[in-house]
Amino acid sequence: MNTTEISESPSRQRRKEARPAELMAAALELFVERGFTATKLDDVAARAGVSKGTLYLYFASKEELFKAVIQQGILPVLDQGEEMLSQFQGDAGALLEAMLLRWWEMVGSTHLAGITKLMISEAGNFPEVAQFYYENVIVRGRGLIRTVLERGIASKQFREMDVETAIDVILAPQMMFTIWRHSLGPCDCGKQDPEAYLKTHMNLLLNGLLTGEKKK
């Protein structure tokens, strides 16, 4: 009743290199849609265009597949974020906006965005993966924003503030927006477009963060 299929590819193909990435992509989609336990490996394999047996050639178990989806998917984004931070020339406000936009392009608007919801849903069932995610995604991600804020405070562009809470206030709307699209989003189709949302969000934020006279 619920089985996903591709129903193409008349004959069997041998593509050892491409399989793992294709399987992880299929798994990510289904894990995000249905959750880990509710996702059947037959469906993952079918969506990737192979049989379940093939899946087991590349991943030792369902849990290993889950770990691979989380780890392989998100780490490159953090690397790139840290790279960007070290390169950027310009004031802290522009940097903050650039980073959030970049995040939207690389994660928010792609399938990777679902990892946020997936990790939140499944953290309780996979404490070790949750620990990994916390140390390698949450801590590093917050570190990026912390650096921007501290740079802005040092240059007097931002006022003094409780930096850790400010990080929450900056990130939470982004996270919620992302989570929304993969959960209750389908219930309200009249949601505005992401870039406009981000601009308005930034405007509201900066007017709470900037030291000088309020702008706009």
| Of 199, 108, 208, the residue nearest 149 (C-alpha) | 208
Euclidean distance between CA atoms 76 and 8, whole angstroms:
32
| Of 157, 153, 76, the residue nearest 110 (C-alpha) | 76
Euclidean distance between CA atoms 167 and 165, whole angstroms:
5
179 lines the binding site for a second copy (CB under 8 A): yes
Q: Segment contacting a second copy (CB under 8 A): 4-12, 17-25, 54-62, 207-215?
A: 207-215
Interaction partner, residue 200 (DNA, a second copy, none; CB < 5-8 Å by kind)? a second copy
Residues forming the site for DNA (CB under 7 A) = 11-16, 19, 39-42, 45, 49-54, 56-57, 61-63
144 lines the binding site for a second copy (CB under 8 A): no
Cα–Cα distance list, 102 to 78, 99, 126, 132, 155 (Å)? 11, 5, 29, 24, 23
Report whether 12 contacts 50 (CB < 8 A). no
Span 103-142, contacts to a second copy by CB under 8 A: 117, 119-125, 127, 130-131, 133-135, 138
Report whether 88 contacts 98 (CB < 8 A). yes
Q: How far is the CB of 97 from a second copy (least distance, A)?
A: 15
Binding site for a second copy (CB under 8 A): 32-38, 117, 119-125, 127, 130-131, 133-135, 138, 159, 161-162, 164-166, 168-169, 171-173, 175-177, 179, 182-184, 186-188, 192, 197, 200-201, 204-209, 214
